[in-house]
Chains A and B, each alone.
Chain A
Amino acid sequence: DTEVTQTPKHLVMGMTNKKSLKCEQHMGHRAMYWYKQKAKKPPELMFVYSYEKLSINESVPSRFSPECPNSSLLNLHLHALQPEDSALYLCASSLTGGGHFTDTQYFGPGTRLTVL
């Protein structure tokens, strides 16, 4: 099973809402990643969790709050977002972490977020 699942597929939220994105993998991977991808642009790394600890935060605004409750699950909590945060949010996982990115990353299909 090389699948990374993400829910929901689509999300529309207002600027005052609080919502969460969920990512799950059952491949025994110990590193998990959040990326943001604007339309017609490449994905940009947001966060990396390695062995359930936050190892990389690419200066992401605090209105994005990641959480890794266990080795299979990664959440991204959203609060007070801006319309410019509308994007495709991709989750990925890899066998090991350590921040060296040498392991193959397996990507989920993404959550398309629209902020009104």
Chain B
Amino acid sequence: AQSVTQPDIHITVSEGASLELRCNYSYGATPYLFWYVQSPGQGLQLLLKYFSGDTLVQGIKGFEAEFKRSQSSFNLRKPSVHWSDAAEYFCAVAARPGNQFYFGTGTSLTVIP
């Protein structure tokens, strides 16, 4: 069955520490991959996306993600977390070809001073 999994429901990091959020997918062919962030009471904002090419993708707000085909993963990273990064993070996939788009279950990030 096709699925996208975010194993970590909640992560707490100290401000200034590095961050890695995990995302694993299970699809017949490599899907289009996305990371979105949702701040409290707000809609979602795209951080970055991967379709093909360089497996290390740079996004907004200092985030990057690495696609690893062998591990069916698309993990999000940030070298130094800021308090304003506290939010819900969703990995998302779009099947190719096809008309399917799914969000993962989300990871809630808390940043402590």
Chain A residue with minimal CB distance to B105? A42
Q: Chain B residues near A105: list those with CB within 8 A.
A: 44, 46
Q: Which of A43, A101, A109 contacts B41 (CB 8 A)?
A: A109
The complex places the Cα of A104 from the Cα of B44 at a distance, in Å, of 11
Give A74 Cβ to nearest chain B Cβ, in Å. 14
In the complex, A67 Cα to B98 Cα: how many Å?
23
Given the known interface contacts A43-B103, A56-B99, A99-B99, the answer about A104 and B94 at a Cβ–Cβ threshold of 8 Å is: no
Provided the pairs A42-B105, A109-B41 are in contact, do residues A101 and B32 lie with their beta carbons within 8 angstroms? yes
- Could you say which of B45, B96, B102, B106 contacts A100, with CB atoms under 8 Å apart? B96
Number of chain B interface residues as a range: 20 to 34
**Is the beta-carbon distance between B32 and A42 smaller than 8 angstroms?**
no
- How far apart sit A99 and B32, CA to CA, in the bound complex (Å)? 12
Number of interface residues of A (CB under 8 A): 21
Interface string of B77-113 (1 = CB under 8 A from A): 0000000000000100010111101111110000000
Question: In chain A, what residue has the closest Cβ to B31?
Answer: A101
Contact A90 B94 (CB under 8 A): no
28 sample A-B contacts, Cβ–Cβ < 8 Å, listed by A number:
A4-B43, A41-B106, A42-B90, A42-B103, A42-B105, A42-B106, A43-B44, A43-B90, A44-B103, A45-B101, A45-B102, A48-B99, A56-B99, A90-B43, A90-B44, A92-B44, A99-B98, A101-B94, A102-B51, A102-B94, A105-B46, A107-B44, A107-B45, A108-B43, A109-B41, A109-B43, A110-B42, A110-B43
In the A-B complex, the 10 residue pairs with the closest CB atoms: A107-B43, A42-B103, A101-B94, A99-B99, A107-B44, A101-B101, A109-B43, A104-B46, A108-B43, A42-B106
Which residue numbers of B lie inside 8 Å of A, CB to CB?
32, 41-46, 49, 51, 90, 94, 96-99, 101-106
Q: Which A residues fall within an 8 A CB radius of B?
A: 4, 41-45, 48, 55-56, 90, 92, 99-102, 104-105, 107-110
